[in-house]
Amino acid sequence: MTTLPPPSNKAHILFLFSDTGGGHRSAAEAIIEALELEFGNSITTEMVDILKEYAPKPFDLLPELYPIMVRIPQAWGFGYYLSNGHRRARLITASAWPMVRRNIRRLVRTHPSDLIVSVHPLANAPMLHALGQHRPPFITVVTDLVTTHALWYHRRTDLCIVPTEEAQQRAFLCGLRKDQVQVIGLPVAQRFCQGEKDKQPIREALGWEKELPTILLVGGSEGMGPMKSVAHTIDALPHPLSLIVVCGRNQKLKENLESHNWNHKVKIYGFVPQMPEFMQAADILVTKAGPGTITEALNASLPMLLYSRLPGQEDGNVSFVVSQGVGFWTPTAESLTQALQTWLAKPQEYKIAVENCKRIARPNAARDIARVLISWLNKSRTDQSRLEVSPTQT
């Protein structure tokens, strides 16, 4: 691993995100954490929710409306695919520019920075338009795994960091050059990058059953999807097991599950801060096909079963998990039962899935991205210094 020097003078990095889904914020926070771990206080960082703080009305309400919109997945998928094309993306951004230009130019004026990182597809085109020719380096970090939207890929970005080879091919189809795209991985917090650990002491500390196969059921921070029916399907299995259900902020679901008479050993949680420990202690993860959760599970060497997906950006996540041999697509009670029985009854097949997780995991993604950002900062400052040297000085 090459050790990079920190910037000679304290540099400022601006991160553009929005809370349309949890992945954008968490990706930015993971990179910021990695920058602090790698380079200490030699840089300062700032996060700006570009939609909530700088989009004109009513578009500033999109972060609040997102949880409502995704509850109609067919409509969401229709809009996603209808807008997903290089020419269509350019038409969308060109049409929106007259409405957003005043606010975006104000963003540029009020947030001077030495480097800009976008972790949201809607930030790229307007920011690059507003910045003009003489600007700091602009780097895009794509936070969808496979079926990435064309709005992620702007030809004027200096570098586009993608999580998978499939996302890289999508970038090429959208007109980016090979030198503009780098496959590094999806950045997640350092606490999710500890690798596989001995499950027994973690289970003991959590108060879980130590010897039983342990299934972890999650639905994101909001407890989304058909978690109740999925939990009942798992509980109906004849194989001895322990079921851990994390309902997130879905208090109604938590209360409903707590009132149920279970066949197996079951623990019900609300929102928990110990999700890394939960993943390290579990044997199988049952979840929706969110990119962050999939990445965190891979880093924990935790095979997974996917019970739902958001049409559009999560379609490719399902094929990725299945094709890489780290999990199954189980949207029905029958498919979920069959997959669980396969792994519980055939330990060798389960072990293959664990090894596949280790093979494709990228636990160092956030730190690798942090080093790339610093290398661009150093290069930018070197180039700027050369421009400032007069002919008489040379």
Q: Do residue 127 and residue 56 come from a single domain? A: yes
pLDDT higher than 90, residue 107: yes
Q: Do residue 18 and residue 120 come from a single domain? A: yes
Domain range enclosing 76: 11-190+364-388
CA-wise closest residue to 248 among 224, 271, 216: 271
DSSP 3-state of 388: helix
Tokens of 20: 């349309």
> Does 394 map to a domain?
no
Type of residue found at 331: P
- The pLDDT, as a whole number, for residue 394 is 36
pLDDT higher than 70, residue 386: no
Q: What is the mean pLDDT of residues 50-75?
A: 84
Assign 392 a pLDDT band (cuts: 50, 70, 90): very low
Structural domains in the chain (count):
2
DSSP 3-state of 116: strand
Q: Do residue 167 and residue 284 come from a single domain? A: no
Q: What is the mean pLDDT of residues 204-225?
A: 91
Q: Which residues pair with 218 in a beta bridge?
A: 246
Q: What is the DSSP track for 197-213?
A: --HHHHHHHHT--SSS-
Selected residue with higher pLDDT from 382 and 165:
165
CA-wise closest residue to 76 among 88, 84, 64: 84
**What global pTM score does this model have?**
0.91
pLDDT higher than 90, residue 357: yes
Q: Do residue 244 and residue 161 come from a single domain? A: no
Q: Do residue 186 and residue 201 come from a single domain? A: no
